[in-house]
Amino acid sequence: MQAYSLDQPERLRAHLALQHHVYEVRGDGQGGQHWELVSARDFTAFEPAAEPPPFSAKSFFFAERELLFRFDGGQFYSTLPAVEPQVLFGLHACDLQAVAYQDRFFAEDPHYQARRQATLLVGVDCLHSCEGGFCSIVGSGPAVREQRADLILVPRQDHATDWLLLVASEAGHAALRGLRLPEATADWQAERSANQVCVAEEQGPQQEIVDGIVSLNAGKIDAETWEALGLRCLGCSGCTTECPTCSCYAPQDRLNAPASMQRERVWDSCLYQGFQQEASGHNPSATPGQRVQRFWSHKFGDGFKAQFEAYGCVGCGRCDRVCPGGIGVHGVMQRVVHHD
Amino acid sequence: MRVVPSICTFCGVGCGLGLRVEDGRVIGVEPQPGHPVSQGQLCSKGWATSFAIDPYKRLTQPMIKEHGHFRPASWDEALGRVAEEFRSALDEQGPAGVGVISCARATNEDNYAAQKFARAVLKTHNIDHCARICHSPSVAGLARTLGSGAMSNSIADIDQADLILVIGADVTENHAMIGARMLRAQARGATLVVVDPRKTRLARLADIHLQVRLGSNIALLNGLLQIIFANGWENRAFIDSRCEDIQPLRQHLAGLTPEQTSAATGVTVAELQRLAFLYSHAKAAFTAYGMGITQFQSGTNNVIAVSNLVLVCGQIGRPGTGINPLRGQNNVQGACDMGCLPNVYPGYQAVSDPAVQARFAAAWATELPQAPGLTSQGMLKAAQHGDFRALMIMGEDPLLTDPDQNQVARAFAALDFLVVVELSLTETAKCADVLLPAAAFAEKDGTFTNCERRVQRIRQAIAAPGLARGDWQILAELAVRLGYPGMAWADAEALFAEMAALTPAFSAISYPALDANHGLQWPCDAAHPQGSPILHEHSFPLGRGRLLPVTQVPPDECPDAEYPFAMTTHRLHFHYGGGSMTRKSPLLERETPAGLLFMHPDDGETLGLLNHQGVRVSSRRGYLETRVQLTDDVPVGTLAMPYHFQEAPCNRLTNDAQDPISKMPELKACAVRVEPLPPDQAPSAQAGSREVDHASL
Amino acid sequence: MIDLTPRKLLLLDHYADGEEARHFSLRIDKPLAGDLAVIPGQFFMLTVPGFGEAPFTYLSLPDQQGRFNALVRRMGALTQGLFEQPVGAVLGYRGPFGKGWPLFFCAHRVLVVAGGCGLVPLAGVIDEASQHRLPLQLSVIYGARHSAAQVLGRERERWRQTLRFMETCDEAKPLERQGSPLDHFDELFAAEAPEAVLCCGPEALMLATAEASLQRGIAAHKIWLSLERRMHCADGLCGHCYLGTEYVCKDGPTYRYDRYLQVRGAGYPTATKQDQRLC
């Protein structure tokens, strides 16, 4: 990778904003963080979020409401989203790993790909672990992997020093055209490795996660344990909504006028009782425990890992924060290991 | 894409959410991580917000009914018609014959406007809303014992409790973020106790579940107090310093024995003693209750019984304690606070107080009525007697949510004129003569007040669909047509400012102050500029707390040979009220069949019923058809039905026997009979709906 | 890229066929080459505008003009909506999807076990065999709740002429065979033991059939079943039809029994009480 020294990430952001819609996560001053459109004239300091925002990059590509087609009574008309070139600025390694996971899952989905192919990804390495993260355990971070982003920002332990900018793709290289940057002189590989060690130490051994994955794949978790967890699942859909790799959806048909209609797809959740229920009433995953088991097996099961060459969990910890029943990833793994 | 901060509308908890807006449409929501109530979480209803307010199937223009059919009309024509009908009703019957049922889902601003419209324009105190059927006994009962009917503490106090007592509330389903907080408290070591005839999720997860017999709350609470007195476990220091004479209550309970209590409630003596010990010895006990206390003909006395227990043990006025009624609708607290009750002006200022009357008359520059007003049920009863002519209903669906549906339908049919302000064509809306399209919460500015008295801002994120307008704008326009100019506010903030100036508990609240915090908890005045998370720290509004002896009253209608089952009503996690919003989500609508009767498997076996078989359920007031779900959530002999579904409206069966003090109908208990339908026959939504169909013509 | 947009499908005709069930004749507007390459046991997605989209199996395979048949039982809102459509109505079509029945396998004597509407996905195979286009000697046992609930009246009439077709009802009338298909296995196997079994019906019946066949010496890799699942996209994306690590819409709906067991277990092994005792 080519490495540059970057005095101000805001300069890069403004440069990209000349040709793209640039989105960045900003705090709302009340404890919330949201993706916001940033203009080329916006020089607000770039501060990578210390905690993952509730929404990852997922909704930019796998839209929460996506129009699929219209029907006018006689013909069906496909619709594809018209997406202006856009930049997601400042994505953490965990969320970029999730984008890669979904790129693979939705490789043949025209709606996803239309949005994805219009997007340049600018990643940022983490110097410190977020509160509930465990990227070092599932191998998704804290350093952005080369194939996961187009450009990678590396902050420095010494805040007074310039940032590093790594060029990770052809598109990233092309996007820098017109921006003059000096080549980096620092030993950035060594710095990144040191950062990784630091974050891994902060995250600790996370033994319950490591042991929980083993138990889950060894089939050591009995149905009673899953049902006990299921009793704590309110079926809110918060985990599947915020999970950056969750991808289930449902169709929603709407009659517009007599004989004309449109179909949208909307995010769905495998934790709903009705998710698999058939018209006959038969339900292959009738109990909450079965559904909770399904969710976690999808994230940590060896069978899925073999298909995707990665866990479905990127270690961001959003499920822990959003679950009212206390059965996010740490909650589940602690109970699973404890019961074992 | 932008995110507009707002407040969830699906219950009284008041969770913070961000509306995700794209191309003028709310496409989803985000939780607010920093929100003091919801702490970055939401329930299934909150997550489904975008479907609930979608323009699809919304009312987008005013409608006038002619020959049994609605036709579109302009605002000018529709409002002209409404004004004309109210004017002629006033001419014929006087102010006693008109009224307004306001809305516990609408903003404080809308509710303030509604009661001002009733009082200043229609000159009547006939103004009420659905608090009548959820927490009117809390308002009445706690007014008698403490002097204030709201939650005494904050939701965050759960974090500091070492015992949490939940009576008659299905918290994880209906106030999910409070339920979640209770589970977190339990995980850090607090003892969780649930008193409920049903095995709710929280009951199954609790440390102690007392599965009391339906309608035996006072027997249980009195029994606990008797054990506490007998063992000397009462908090004497608190009683001496904070309460009035305790002797009448002591004497009232002196003759009782734990065995009698056990026989009356179905709870073992050992369990009673354990709870009495734990509750009275807890450093901080957080007491919460819901409609399992209030929706009885003894609702007010049930609340007083809870209050007695809390006062005797001194579990109030400190962090982690309190008596905490969990409010149902997102702004039912606010609708009460705003004076949408026949007996009080905003801030619970009594209509009967001449000084209050004079102050409002001066502020509103008009004469105000002297005659007492009617409750919502009172208005409907008067309509049936021919004494009530014209009614406005804002955003409520009494045909689905009030007791004895056929009686409500007869009352609607007896009205000369019904105008309904609504988002969509609800069952009640179908009965209207004029239908006015309202803006949803994402389409207007205003405030909601959650159950812990927290006033929070909502902000307009998108335009209302079609011609829909905000409720207070509609009322202001009508006021002008009826000759009253005093409701022409520039915006919601100006309206709020007028209200705050007249309402002492809100006097230090303004939009900027609300924006700077995550809302403020009233009372918020010069003495409490940052609001009041905990009430009654040093004294009660009445001065000393009152311990009022109350006696167990059985439900008005108990099972007998003809109607052998006790039936109670409840709510499901996935739906809200009459389902007019939540049922628009394809995901929530998929979760449950449209109508369910929960029955213990032993009862199912006795009746020879298969799971999901169709049944006809009858009470003395009507019948319906639905499907049975066999589950040990309910005890043998007791059935439960959710009230969200127009296809199987359980309130066609319920009893309108009322609490004499609060006029709360006994929605929680009636007697029914169950007859199986043939195994292949699907239940019919039309069965038993004749009177309702007639009312919509 | 996949295409989630339906193509135009015309409702040509229909007639009542069994309890709450109808036999529909449909025509794909402007059929493509792929439309003619349908294998029995595959399915298509039918859109009823305003009511949604759901999977159905082909009762007969599309011909050169795109005409084919389907049998639909009234179950929910979508099928109710379909029953209300007039002849000539424009519907939506996507397909074919999934894996069909194996048509050439190392077995000559094949037993077909069908329950209720499970006869429909098997109809193509039975048709092919009865017209001697497949080198199979087929025996069919068809179970239904009672005779009024039986479907494919005209097809059964035809099949009875050309192959061994046994019918049984849970609630039998006099002279009718009584009980579940499994109740007649001894008789079926005694006559001429099959070498392979194809089964379609309620999941419980299929699993019981598979176990009963295993017990009678048929290897798991010679038993096939067809799963019903809630399907929305049919392209393995929406997630609803998961079975272990697979999606039934792509990997199925027909499964070889040994493969079914493997897939079902692969996603998420669970300890049973017995496993724990062994530990």
B438-470 pLDDT, tens digit per residue, is 999 999 999 999 999 999 999 999 999 999 999
Residue ranges, chain A, pLDDT below 70: 339-340
Per the CB < 8 A criterion, the answer to whether A93 and A136 are in contact is no
pTM equals 0.93
Rounded to the nearest angstrom, the minimum Cα separation between A67 and chain C is 10
Residues B150 and B274 in one domain: yes
Instruction: Mark yes or no for CB contact C53/A263 under 8 Å.
Output: yes
Question: Which pLDDT does position C279 carry in this prediction?
Answer: 30
Residue B283, chain A, CB below 8 Å: the answer is no
User: For A335, which residue in chain B has the nearest alpha carbon?
Assistant: B187
Backbone dihedral angles phi then psi of residue B379, each to the nearest 5 degrees: -65, -40
For residue A323, the chain B residues in CB contact (below 8 A) are 41
Question: What CATH number corresponds to the domain at position B590?
Answer: 2.40.40.20
Residues B643 and B659 in one domain: yes
Residues B407 and B350 in one domain: yes
Residues B180 and B319 in one domain: yes
Residue B74 tokens, joined: 């302009």
Euclidean distance between the first and final Cα of chain C, in Å? Answer: 48
User: For A298, which residue in chain C has the nearest alpha carbon?
Assistant: C267
Q: Please give the Cα distance from B285 to B164 (Å, whole number).
A: 6
Chains A & C: contacts with CB separation below 8 Å: 143
Percent of chain B with pLDDT over 90: 79
Question: What CATH number corresponds to the domain at position B34?
Answer: 2.20.25.90
Tell me the per-residue pLDDT of C120-175, one tens digit each, with 9 for 90 and over. Answer: 999 999 988 888 777 778 899 999 999 889 999 999 999 999 889 999 999 988 88
CA-only gyration radius of chain B, Å: 24
Chains touching chain C, criterion 3+ CB pairs below 8 Å: A
| Interfacial A residues in 108-167 facing C (CB < 8 Å) | 108-111, 113
Question: Which pLDDT does position B156 carry in this prediction?
Answer: 96
Residue A293, chain B, CB below 8 Å: the answer is no
Residue C118: Cβ within 10 Å count: 25
In this structure, is residue B667 part of a structural domain?
yes
User: For C4, which residue in chain A has the nearest alpha carbon?
Assistant: A68
Q: Which of B665, B553, B549 is nearest to B144 (CA)?
A: B549
For an interface test with A, which of B7, B17, B22, B32 has the most A Cβ atoms less than 10 Å from its Cβ? B32
pLDDT, averaged across chain C: 90
Backbone dihedral angles phi then psi of residue B296, each to the nearest 5 degrees: -135, 160
Compute the Cα dihedral for B245, B249, B251, B257 and give only its sign. Answer: negative
pLDDT, averaged across chain B: 93
Question: Which pLDDT does position C179 carry in this prediction?
Answer: 93
Question: Which pLDDT does position B266 carry in this prediction?
Answer: 96
Instruction: Mark yes or no for CB contact B56/A272 under 8 Å.
Output: no
Residues B151 and B110 in one domain: no
Q: Please give the Cα distance from B9 to B328 (Å, whole number).
A: 10
Per the CB < 8 A criterion, the answer to whether B44 and B573 are in contact is yes
A99-115 burial, b at 16+ Cβ within 10 Å, e below that, comes to bbbbeebbeebbbbbbb
Residue B47 tokens, joined: 């997550």
Residue C148, chain A, CB below 8 Å: the answer is no
Residues B389 and B311 in one domain: no
Q: Specify whether the backbone of B644 is left (phi greater than 0), alpha (psi in -120 to 50) or beta.
A: alpha
Tell me the per-residue pLDDT of A16-33, one tens digit each, with 9 for 90 and over. Answer: 999 999 999 998 887 888
Per the CB < 8 A criterion, the answer to whether B391 and B98 are in contact is yes
Number of structural domains, chain B? Answer: 4
Residues B151 and B8 in one domain: no
Strands of B326-458 (E only): list them.
344-345, 349-350, 390-394, 417-422, 434-437, 446-449, 454-458
For an interface test with A, which of B44, B57, B575, B631 has the most A Cβ atoms less than 10 Å from its Cβ? B44
A170-186 burial, b at 16+ Cβ within 10 Å, e below that, comes to eebeebbeeeebeebee
Residue B291: Cβ within 10 Å count: 26
Q: Which of B164, B218, B236 is nearest to B548 (CA)?
A: B218
Strands of chain A (E only): list them.
2-6, 21-27, 33-38, 65-71, 76-78, 86-92, 119-124, 151-154, 163-167, 249-257, 260-267
Rounded mean pLDDT of B532-557?
Answer: 94
Instruction: Mark yes or no for CB contact A231/B204 under 8 Å.
Output: yes
The answer to whether residue C197 scores a pLDDT higher than 60 is yes
Residues B199 and B244 in one domain: yes
Tell me the per-residue pLDDT of C28-84, one tens digit each, with 9 for 90 and over. Answer: 999 998 898 999 999 999 999 989 999 999 999 999 999 999 999 998 889 999 999
Rounded mean pLDDT of B230-249?
Answer: 96
Backbone dihedral angles phi then psi of residue B427, each to the nearest 5 degrees: -60, -40
Rounded alpha-carbon distances, angstroms, from residue C32 to B324, C35, C70, C267: 67, 5, 19, 36
For residue B35, the chain A residues in CB contact (below 8 A) are 30-32
Q: Please give the Cα distance from B513 to A239 (Å, whole number).
A: 33
Lowest mean pLDDT: which of B546-550, B565-569, C265-269?
A: C265-269
The answer to whether residue B269 scores a pLDDT higher than 80 is yes
In this structure, is residue B410 part of a structural domain?
yes
Tell me the per-residue pLDDT of B83-138, one tens digit each, with 9 for 90 and over. Answer: 999 999 999 999 999 999 999 999 999 999 999 999 999 999 999 998 777 788 99
Rounded alpha-carbon distances, angstroms, from residue B495 to A53, A265, B211, B466, B644: 36, 41, 47, 25, 33
Give the pLDDT band of residue C275 (cuts 50, 70, 90): very low
The answer to whether residue B22 scores a pLDDT higher than 50 is yes
Q: Which of A26, A55, A31 is nearest to B518 (CA)?
A: A31
The answer to whether residue B65 scores a pLDDT higher than 70 is yes
Amino acid identity for residue A102 in this structure: Q
For residue A64, the chain B residues in CB contact (below 8 A) are 20, 27-28, 50
Per the CB < 8 A criterion, the answer to whether C109 and C192 are in contact is yes
For residue C92, the chain A residues in CB contact (below 8 A) are 71, 76
Rounded to the nearest angstrom, the minimum Cα separation between A108 and chain C is 4
Rounded to the nearest angstrom, the minimum Cα separation between A274 and chain C is 10
Q: Which of B543, A218, A153, A202 is nearest to A210 (CA)?
A: A218
State yes or no: cis peptide before A244, omega within 30 of 0.
Answer: no
Residues B260 and B343 in one domain: no
Residue A227, chain B, CB below 8 Å: the answer is no
Residue B348: Cβ within 10 Å count: 21
Chains A & B: contacts with CB separation below 8 Å: 127
For an interface test with A, which of C117, C232, C237, C249 has the most A Cβ atoms less than 10 Å from its Cβ? C237
What does the DSSP assignment read for B653-678? T----B-TTT--B-TT-EEEEEEEPP
Residue C75, chain A, CB below 8 Å: the answer is yes
Q: Please give the Cα distance from C60 to C34 (Å, whole number).
A: 15
Give the pLDDT band of residue C272 (cuts 50, 70, 90): very low
Q: What is the dihedral of CA B256, B259, B264, B267, to 10 degrees?
A: 130
Rounded alpha-carbon distances, angstroms, from residue B295 to A213, B659, B667, B669, C247: 48, 9, 5, 8, 48
Residue A75, chain C, CB below 8 Å: the answer is yes
Residue C166 tokens, joined: 């046994």
Tell me the per-residue pLDDT of B484-496, one tens digit each, with 9 for 90 and over. Answer: 999 999 999 999 9
Q: Which domain holds residue B650?
A: 565-695
Residue A326, chain B, CB below 8 Å: the answer is yes
Question: Which pLDDT does position C271 carry in this prediction?
Answer: 52
Residue C271 has its nearest CB partner, among A108, A220, A268, at A220
- Greatest Cα-to-Cα distance within chain C, rounded to the nearest angstrom: 64
Domains of chain C and any CATH numbers: 7-97 (2.40.30.10), 109-226 (3.40.50.80)
Residues B33 and B124 in one domain: no
Residues B172 and B265 in one domain: yes
Q: Which of A289, A199, B311 is nearest to C270 (CA)?
A: A289
Question: Which pLDDT does position B669 carry in this prediction?
Answer: 87
Give the pLDDT band of residue C270 (cuts 50, 70, 90): low
| Interfacial A residues in 233-292 facing C (CB < 8 Å) | 247-251, 253, 255, 259-261, 263, 265, 268, 270, 275-280, 282, 284
Per the CB < 8 A criterion, the answer to whether A273 and B84 are in contact is no
How far is C-alpha B472 from the chain's CA centre? Answer: 21
The answer to whether residue C276 scores a pLDDT higher than 50 is no
Question: Which pLDDT does position C277 carry in this prediction?
Answer: 32
Question: What CATH number corresponds to the domain at position B378?
Answer: 3.40.50.740
Question: Which pLDDT does position A152 carry in this prediction?
Answer: 98
H/E stretch holding A116 reads helix A110-116
Chains touching chain A, criterion 3+ CB pairs below 8 Å: B, C
Q: Please give the Cα distance from A166 to A4 (Å, whole number).
A: 6
Q: Please give the Cα distance from B524 to B533 (Å, whole number).
A: 10
Chains touching chain B, criterion 3+ CB pairs below 8 Å: A
Looking only at the bridges linking them, the beta strands covering A65-71 and A33-38 are: unpaired
Rounded to the nearest angstrom, the minimum Cα separation between B34 and chain A is 4
Per the CB < 8 A criterion, the answer to whether A289 and A229 are in contact is yes
DSSP letter for B366, please: S
In this structure, is residue B560 part of a structural domain?
no
Give the pLDDT band of residue B572 (cuts 50, 70, 90): confident
For residue C228, the chain A residues in CB contact (below 8 A) are 278, 280, 282
Residue A81, chain B, CB below 8 Å: the answer is no
Q: Please give the Cα distance from A263 to C15 (Å, whole number).
A: 29
The answer to whether residue B291 scores a pLDDT higher than 70 is yes
Instruction: Mark yes or no for CB contact A71/C92 under 8 Å.
Output: yes
For residue A59, the chain B residues in CB contact (below 8 A) are 20, 28
Residues B243 and B177 in one domain: yes
